[in-house]
Chains A and B, each alone.
Chain A
Amino acid sequence: EVQLVESGGGLVQPGGSLRLSCAASGFTVSSNYMSWVRQAPGKGLEWVSVIYSGGSTYYADSVKGRFTISRDNSKNTLYLQMNSLRAEDTAVYYCARYYYDSSGLRPLNWFDPWGQGTLVTVSS
């Protein structure tokens, strides 16, 4: 069964750091595109970051320079290192497998499956 399990969320002060983990089972993280998506309390979904199977990484402008996405192939785990955290980073963070294919006339890109999410609260 394909499954993603996040961990590492919690309460952190503004300016602090936190590392989220996403353990995958049923498929190989390094062979897939993987992404983080967040959802502030009562708000919609916001894409945060993606790591391609080849290792390229991309970030939303709101987190660029502060967050780093990475993976550990030996542990089949995805990470999100979050530094210089702000109150507006408070959200449930989901990891998701990102299916991407640009070979056709129209690129394909969707998220499936998603993990259950982990809550990050930035507050003093």
Chain B
Amino acid sequence: SYELTQPPSVSVSPGQTARITCSGDALPKQYAYWYQQKPGQAPVLVIYKDSERPSGIPERFSGSSSGTTVTLTISGVQAEDEADYYCQSADSSGTYPRVVFGGGTKLTVL
């Protein structure tokens, strides 16, 4: 089955740049999406279509894609950005597109 691989954790100091990667063989053919989840809260979409930012999401959040890896970049990290981040894509090899989530990355702001 199709898998998306994320690092379990990333740590940065306030004001620095955090980069969270997500790897998957189908990513060149499928868009990737990113969700932020703070403790006890529901996930929130922060990036769609690899690099688009929904309204209301701060400009410090950006996304990029290169081959089989997509990257969520948070520039000028703030304490409030500490959260779990999940990438999501789809596996279209079957009769319908199966949604796939990465295992999640815990971002710690030191």
Contacts and interface: CB of A to CB of B under 8 A. Distances in A.
A106 B48 contact: no
B110 to A, nearest CB: 22
Interface residues of A, number: 24
Contacts of B104: 44-45
Contacts of B29: 106
Nearest to A102: B97
Interface string A29-45: 00000010100000011
Determine the interface band of chain B, counting residues with CB < 8 A from chain A: 20 to 34
B90 A107 contact: yes
Given A45-B104, A58-B96, A115 B42 contact: yes
B42 A94 contact: yes
A106 B42 contact: no
Contacts of A113: 45
B49 A108 contact: yes
A46 interface: yes
Interface of A: 35, 37, 44-47, 50, 58, 60, 94, 100, 102, 106-117
12 contacts: A44-B101, A44-B103, A44-B104, A45-B101, A45-B104, A47-B100, A94-B42, A102-B97, A106-B31, A108-B48, A110-B88, A114-B44
| Closest 4 pairs between A and B when the two form their complex, measured CB to CB | A47-B99, A114-B42, A112-B45, A110-B33
